[in-house]
Amino acid sequence: MDEERSPGLDSRKIVCIVLDNPDRDLLGVGLLSSMLAQKGIDVVVVPMYDQQQHILNLMPDMVLLNYARRANSAAIKRYKKFGIRVGVLDTEGGVLRCEYRELLDIVLNSGVKDCIDDYFLWGTRQYEAFQKHLDSVNTSLYLTGCPRFDLYSERWSHLIRRPASIDDDYVLIATSFSFNNPRFASREREIENMREAMGLDRPLLKEMQFHADRALNGMVSLCRQTCERYPNTTFVLRPHPFENDRMYLDGLSGVKNLHIRRDGSIISWLKYAGVLIQLNSSAAFEAQLLGKAVVSPEFFQDESLKVPVASECSVEAHSEEEYWDVLDHIIGKRFDAGVQDRVERVSVAFHKLVNDWIYKNDGRSSERVAEALHKIVNGEQGQKKKWTWSARWYCHYVWVHAYHIVKCMLTKMVADRRYWNRFSKSFKAADFGAVMSYVEDEGIRMVDKPIYGGVSLWKSNAVLVKGGGGKGAAADVRCS
């Protein structure tokens, strides 16, 4: 039986998109899915940690992965065995310390660089680095930008909803200490992950954790002082999604004008914030996209931790005195011409960073990715190999589904952070449907029908956006 589809799908082209972090990526993936649906392509969005059983059920023409690393190398090789075209659009790792150590080197060391058919890149620095160093004749490169940044443009920013239960104006504090204050792993496990992914020596990583601890303790103390200095201002502290918030709950207890929140997407918190305070967080770049002032307390900085683009997007304070001068100008409304000049100079210099890191802030990255995917799956290079049901296919099918069931059982039986991390990245089909309802005027309508002919995969959601016949044509959204 050649190329038989899952019961809920017809014979049209199918692209499967792996959704990594729903809080961060759901809106961008929704936009990309709608663009593909308008081109008549069926899109199935699946959760990252449950992707294999969905993809083996569907056997799509192409899978668009959230990254290519050692962690998913076995899955990538499995997809290639069954003739599924493999594309990568990183949803994390665009605005980094550099384009090499934290992205290109990881791909080069993944063991699957030659299995990647198509790689979609955020900005010109990434694109030029991959052109020069990827050294894979099998991989086509595309400079497109990243769809989640479309939401920062005037065209789509109306989709960003205000965070729940915060009605006052507020100052946002974004922390980024997941390496030394991890939520889902031990500190030693984080060192091993960094050592394996980036090839860094253990002594260097231990030293980095030491400096990160110093910065974290300093930031906690500074947050308390800042809240006390401006008692009539509301502050919201948002830890990194992979960061443990216990340090903040304990160290900042009793601070009445501070809220510690991790719900919702960072873009919502940034859009409605008056100013952002951060250290080495890519949120600085995102805040500048929304025209927000950003302050960085660089007196806690260490070169081993520094994210240059985050500092370049910020008004840098190199001493506590300078920090208070900047905040008195921005929060305390005590005008300082020197500080104002620095804020404006950072904003002007930021425009070059946009091209370097996300190509264009024009709200059309999802269109560029969709156009390339449309050409790929409908061109000769997008034709799948013929495959038949076989013992090998059944072995793979049984293995990934048995693994999924065992994983669900372990999550209930043991309080292991590794398993809870997996389910922290699941998403509700209803949430995705709410996103798609935002773009109904683009030709997407909601229909509550199952993907798999009424049979869902236990404890896992997937969403089908069923393609219409072009812009303005109706498309279904179905949920598992």
Could you report the per-residue pLDDT of 382-396, keeping only the tens digit for each? 555 545 556 766 676
Q: Residue 97 burial (CB < 10 Å; 0-12/13-18/19+)?
A: middle
Instruction: List the structure tokens of 336.
Output: 């300082």
Consecutive H or E run containing 220: helix 202-229
Closest CA to 346 of 415, 296, 301, 420: 296
pLDDT (average), residues 394-418: 62
Could you report the per-residue pLDDT of 272-326, keeping only the tens digit for each? 999 999 999 989 999 999 999 999 999 999 998 998 889 999 999 999 999 999 9
User: What does each C-alpha distance from 467 to 13, 14, 42, 344 come to in angstroms?
Assistant: 9, 9, 5, 45
pLDDT confidence bin for 461, thresholds 50/70/90: confident
Tokens 């302050």 map to which residue?
Answer: 295
Measured in degrees and rounded to the nearest 5, phi and psi for residue 173 equal -115, 115
Strand intervals (E) in 261-354:
273-278, 293-297, 315-317
> Percent of the chain beyond pLDDT 90?
49
According to the model, what pLDDT value does residue 155 have? 87
Checking if the pLDDT of 252 tops 50, the result is yes
- Of the two residues 174 and 472, the one the predictor is more confident about is 174
What is the C-alpha end-to-end distance of the chain, expressed in Å?
25
Integer Cα distance of 139 and 115 in angstroms: 8
pLDDT (average), residues 108-119: 92
User: What does each C-alpha distance from 330 to 257, 345, 413 come to in angstroms?
Assistant: 18, 15, 50
According to the model, what pLDDT value does residue 473 have? 46
110 contact partners, CB below 8 Å, separation of at least 6 = 68, 69, 70, 73
According to the model, what pLDDT value does residue 220 have? 97
According to the model, what pLDDT value does residue 411 have? 56
According to the model, what pLDDT value does residue 436 have? 64
According to the model, what pLDDT value does residue 454 have? 39
Contact between 244 and 181 (Cβ < 8 Å): yes
Checking if the pLDDT of 198 tops 80, the result is no
Contact between 360 and 143 (Cβ < 8 Å): no
- At residue 56, the 3 state secondary structure works out as helix
According to the model, what pLDDT value does residue 224 have? 98
Task: Tell me the β-bridge partners of 142.
Answer: 120
Contact between 19 and 64 (Cβ < 8 Å): no
According to the model, what pLDDT value does residue 152 have? 93
Could you report the per-residue pLDDT of 330-371, keeping only the tens digit for each? 999 899 999 999 999 999 999 889 998 899 999 999 999 999
Closest CA to 282 of 21, 51, 18: 21
According to the model, what pLDDT value does residue 2 have? 40
Q: Residue 119 burial (CB < 10 Å; 0-12/13-18/19+)?
A: buried
Domain map of the chain by residue range? 14-153+363-479, 166-355
Checking if the pLDDT of 374 tops 90, the result is yes
Q: Do 14-153+363-479 and 166-355 fold alike per CATH?
A: yes
- Of the two residues 409 and 340, the one the predictor is more confident about is 340
Task: Tell me the β-bridge partners of 120.
Answer: 89, 142
CATH fold for the domain made of 166-355: Rossmann fold (3.40.50)
Could you report the per-residue pLDDT of 55-96, keeping only the tens digit for each? 888 889 999 999 998 889 999 999 998 889 999 998 876 666
Domain 14-153+363-479 in this protein, CATH class: alpha beta
- Of the two residues 239 and 455, the one the predictor is more confident about is 239
- At residue 464, the 3 state secondary structure works out as strand
